[in-house]
Structure 1
Amino acid sequence: MFARFSRALPRSQLAGPPIRPFYRYTATGLGASMWFWIFYKAKEDGPVLLGWKHPWDH
């Protein structure tokens, strides 16, 4: 079924529109900060959400 989709396409068909470096670096930075925030909150709130610790126990 996937055999017809597995043929390699020419590079001209794979390339998207050119993206300005400012937008590419901004998107990368915002994406990285989002993941850092998610992992930070998981570290801080994860035990409470999983029931391993009560919120009032510090």
Structure 2
Amino acid sequence: MAAPHGKPNLARGIPPLRIHNFVGTALGAGMWFFLMYRAKKDGAVLLGWKHPWDH
């Protein structure tokens, strides 16, 4: 009853250009650098370990 019926019909899209890959990677890296910078700067306040007016 449940036998394989050949190759699946997969939809293939247009591959992205190199510039789009580069820009996407750069934006993602920039986001993470900024996020870690802010976490280093005031992560203790965000986690409740320190009051906002103490630093």
| TM-score interval (norm. to shorter) | 0.5 to 0.7
Runs of 4+ aligned residues of structure 1 deviating over 4 Å after TM superposition are none
Identify the residue that residue 24 of structure 2 maps to in structure 1: 27
Identity %: 56
Q: Aligned residues, how many?
A: 48
When the two chains are superposed, the root-mean-square deviation of aligned CA atoms in Å is 2.1
SS at match of 2:20: helix
For the pair shown, the structure with the greater C-alpha radius of gyration is 2
TM-score by length of 2: 0.64
TM-score by length of 1: 0.62
Unaligned runs of 5+ in 1: 1-12
Unaligned runs of 5+ in 2: 1-9
